[in-house]
Amino acid sequence: NGTSEEVKKIVSLLNEADVPSEDVVEVVVSPPYVFLLLVKSLLRSDFQVAAQNCWVKKGGAFTGEISAEMLVNLSIPWVILGHSERRALLNESNEFTGDKVAYALSQGLKVIACVGETLEQRESGLTVAVVAAQTKAIADKVANWANVVLAYEPVWAIGTGKVASPAQAQEVHFELRKWLRQNAGDEVADTTRIIYGGSVNGANCKELAGQHDVDGFLVGGASLKVEFVDIIKSSTVKVSS
C-alpha cells in the first residue's frame, strides 16, 4: 500500500510499538513486492516479512511473476497464497492454489494459505463445503503442515465493514479444525494455526481473539493504522484468560 514514505511511517510506528514478546505473538507484515526489501531493512528484528504472492513452480519465462526461489534468495521467510482477491479477480483455482502452497513449502517458505466463501455461497448454506474444498486442495498436495498457517477470510467481510460475528468466525474455524482432524490427523488439527481475516479492527479484535479456535488475524486496512498495535496486543486475551 502507498508510497515509500508512507511505508516508512508505518514501519516506524511498528518499531516503536510496545507489544507482547515473540513467544506470545508472531507478527508478520506483508508489503507489496516493491517495498519488501525496504521494509525488511527497517523493521524491528522480532517482526517478520511476507510476500503477498509467488509463482507456482520454478522460475522461467513467466513475465511479471516472482518465484519462491527469489523470495528465499532475499531472505523473505513468509508468503501469502490463495488470497480471495487472487481467487476472484485472477481466477486462481483451488487446485492451482494447492500447487502454489506445496511448491512454496518445498522451497523452504512458510505459507499463510487463505480460504473463504462469498456472500452468495454463505447465503446458500455452502460455507463449510466451500472452505473444506479449498482446504482439501491444499491437503492433497501437502503432507507436512508445520509451516502452514490457515487463514479464514469470509469474502463478504473483506473491506466491506461487515464482520463475521465472533460466533460466526468461531463456527467456521471449528469446522476447519474438525476437517483437519478427520483428514490430516490430530497433530495437524491441534498445531495448525487458523487465523481470521475480514474487517478486523481495534474495536472487535479482543472479542474475536477470545474465540477458542481463532488463533490470530490476517489484517487488511487496519494494518495501516495505529490500531494495528491494539490488534497485535489482543493476542494476550487467551494467555490471560
What is the domain partition of the chain in residue ranges?
A: 4-240
Mean pLDDT score of the chain: 95
Residues 81-132: pLDDT tens digits? 999 999 999 999 999 999 999 999 999 999 999 999 999 999 999 999 999 9
Q: Single out the catalytic residue among 92, 153, 173, 175.
A: 153
Structure confidence by residue, pLDDT tens digits, 202-228: 999 999 999 999 999 999 999 999 999
- 115 in Cβ contact with 83 (< 8 Å): no
Is the domain 4-240 a CATH 3.20.20.70 member? yes
Q: What is the pLDDT of residue 239?
A: 66
Identify whether 83 is a catalytic site residue.
yes
Q: Round to whole Å and give the CA distance between 147 and 144.
A: 8
**Buried b / exposed e across 132-171, counting CB within 10 Å, b at 16+?**
bebbbbbbebbeebeebbbbbbbbbbbeeeebbebebbbb
Among the options 83, 92, 117, 175, which is catalytic?
A: 83
pLDDT above 80 for 241 = no
Active site residue 153: yes
- For 95, other C-beta atoms within 10 Å of its C-beta total 13
Amino acid at 178: K
